[in-house]
Amino acid sequence: METKRRNRAKQTTPLEGRLSREAQRLRSEARQTPDGSARESLIRRARQMDEAREMSEALTLHPRAS
Q: Is the pLDDT of residue 64 over 90?
A: no
Question: What is the pLDDT, as a whole number, of residue 32?
Answer: 97
More reliable by pLDDT, 3 or 55: 55
Q: Are the beta carbons of 42 and 22 closer than 8 angstroms?
A: no
What pLDDT does 65 receive?
A: 63
Q: Where are the domains of the chain?
A: 15-61
Distances (CA, A) of 32 to 25, 38, 44: 11, 11, 15
pLDDT category, 66, cuts 50, 70, 90?
low
For residue 49, count other CB atoms closer than 10 A to its CB.
20
pTM above 0.85, yes or no: no
